[in-house]
Amino acid sequence: MVETNRRGHATQFAIDAARQEMDVVVVLGGDGTLNEAANGLVGTNCALAALPGGSTNVFARTLGLSDDLATSTRTLLDAMSANSIMRIGLGSVNGRHFLFHTGIGWDARLVREVEKRSEWKRHFGHPLFVWSGLQTFFRIYDRTTPHFRVIHEDGSAIDDGYFTVVLNSNPYTYVGTRPFNLDPAANLRRPLTAITVTDMRALPFLRTMFTALFRRGGMESVPAVDFRRDVSQLVIEGYGPVPYQVDGDDLGDADRLEFRHHPDVMDLVVPVGWSS
């Protein structure tokens, strides 16, 4: 057992485990720590296993694991006993792999605001995200001018990008116990889904968010949204530096973001009977 105490620590621990030919790396932590470990295991035969130890635990919950640590531990032990391991695909942005999504623009700025109050996150959790989201939307993030263009592999471009999410799985996140569905068809075995919001006026945007929260079908065919499924690669060019986050971890600003899908690059321990 080892404990992380700095950024990138989990990646190095995972690399060391794979070099020692260990079978599984079990991560007790939040989505950011899990992401770091995954980046250390890409391309190896050492599997990743998740235990929920953060404030939201999006990826662990996506796998059907309980937020109760004792319950999820029993589920994980049963899975390992049954050798329930799946080879999954990952997305990457500028070389950094992601398990469930990358956000560009507004939601990355939201994550940055939450991280400024990281000592509050465990105690206030979802209310802190909601409050930070509203503050970012109405006071911090510029909603009057597009921030970037999105260039797809077929050469088509969306020039008025305000906010983009690139999904490797669904849901995008959870609000309490309710999944925030952007594309229910997104899963760990197929290429990425890219969703770009092109209008951030208050009423259309709030309507879009409520659609994702309360409609099971996600954001396909929603007005003011460019929706692309089974994306293997894309590029985002900023009209200046744009914020981005990977699996809920703020990675700063970038002028250019290059996305790729990498099929079958990592082993993942999944609950017995779980299907992506």
Model pLDDT, residue 117? 63
What are the residue boundaries of the structural domains of the chain, listed by start? 9-94, 98-261
End-to-end Cα separation, the chain, in angstroms: 29
Domain 9-94 is classified in which CATH homologous superfamily? Probable inorganic polyphosphate/atp-NAD kinase; domain 1 (3.40.50.10330)
CA distance 200 to 144: 8
**163-167 vs 192-197, strand pairing mode:** antiparallel
Q: Angle at Cα 31 formed by Cα 239 and Cα 116, nearest 5°? A: 60
Residue pLDDT, tens place only, 238-275: 999 999 999 999 999 999 999 999 999 999 999 999 98
pTM, to two decimals: 0.91
Q: Burial, 105: exposed, middle or buried (Cβ in 10 Å; 0-12, 13-18, 19+)?
A: buried
Reading the block at residue 54, the tokens are 């953060």
pLDDT of residue 205: 80
Q: Report whether CATH 2.60.200.40 matches the domain 98-261.
A: yes
- Note the pLDDT of residue 206: 79
pLDDT in tens, 129-148: 666 667 777 778 888 999 99
Helix pair 118-135, 106-115: axis angle to 10 deg: 150
User: Percentage of the chain surpassing pLDDT 90?
Assistant: 71
Contact indicator for 243, 252 with CB cutoff of 8 Å = yes
Query: Tens digit of pLDDT for each residue in 189-244?
Result: 999 999 999 998 888 787 777 777 777 777 887 888 999 999 999 999 999 999 99
Burial of 238 (0-12, 13-18, 19+ CB in 10 A): buried
In percent, the amount of the chain with pLDDT more than 70 equals 92
What pLDDT is recorded for position 122? 56
Kindly report, residue by residue over 92-121, the tens digit of the pLDDT. 999 999 999 999 998 899 888 877 666 555
Say yes or no: do domains 9-94 and 98-261 share a fold.
Answer: no
Which one, of 5, 29, 28, 2, lies nearest residue 15 by Cα? Answer: 2
